[in-house]
Structure 1
Amino acid sequence: MDDFNTVRLKKKTLNKFKKYSKKISPSYSETLDYMIAFFEDNNLSPYDTLGMNRTSLQNVFNKRLDALISILRNVEETQLVGFP
């Protein structure tokens, strides 16, 4: 049998955690385990930001699209020579 201990949290934080936990897993311990595993697996801190802003995300997409276009042009020039 698992040993249990207590943790003191502000009421507001505890209520938010309980509400969130109901969506994630059947127990608070399991929810907290998932959260810790996420941060450890992704080598993140809760203070890190995950998302990029819209402009930087658009720049990444544009670079990848430019790379894809270059690859297709290269294939057209080198492999499709002689085809009508």
Structure 2
Amino acid sequence: MDEEFKKELFETLKIKSSVAKKFRRFSRTISKSQSVSLLLMIDFFENNGISPTESMGPKMQTLETLIKKRINGVIAILKDIEKGQTKPTVAMMQSLFREAEPKKQPLILEKKNTAENQPKYQERKQQDS
């Protein structure tokens, strides 16, 4: 028995023997005592706001496949948006920027050596030789 219920008194419930056997087997699998098992079940129903007579609907596997289908649908929509809207827009923007770029002019770093622009010291070297 759990320590928190050690000082409490026992009560009896009248249930059918087949139900009692089934409950005892079930309570051994989920907790140490039948009282705690019953308390856990009551807490579960109260916390989730459901009734034991209600159906829980589809099972987890069904829900998982439904969620996977929805996720695949979202992925397909995103891929379609990328192909139909994003890529063409990027291509148009790039072409606009290519046309708007100024023409590249060579930078003038040094003057080209021509006969008129050659330094005078080279003329002296040629005369000395």
The alignment's TM-score, normalised by the length of structure 1, stands at 0.71
Q: Which of 1 and 2 has higher RCO (CA within 8 Å, sep 6+)?
A: 2
Residue identity opposite 2:23 in structure 1: F
Corresponding position of 1:44? 50
**How far apart are 1:74 and its partner, in Å?**
4.0
Residue identity opposite 2:50 in structure 1: L
What is the number of equivalent residue pairs in this alignment?
Answer: 79
Tell me how far apart the structure 1 counterparts of residues 48 and 36 of structure 2 sit (CA, whole Å).
Answer: 18
Tell me how far apart the structure 2 counterparts of residues 2 and 75 of structure 1 sit (CA, whole Å).
Answer: 66
Corresponding position of 2:24? 18
What percentage of aligned pairs have identical amino acids?
Answer: 29
SS in 2 for 1:8: coil
Residue identity opposite 2:53 in structure 1: Y
1:66 aligns with 2:62: no
Residue identity opposite 1:10 in structure 2: K
Larger radius of gyration: 2
SS in 1 for 2:12: coil
Change (3 A) 1:5 1:62: same
SS in 1 for 2:72: helix
Which ranges of structure 2 fall in alignment gaps of 5 or more residues? 1-6, 92-129
Tell me how far apart the structure 2 counterparts of residues 75 and 4 of structure 1 sit (CA, whole Å).
Answer: 67
Residue identity opposite 1:28 in structure 2: Q
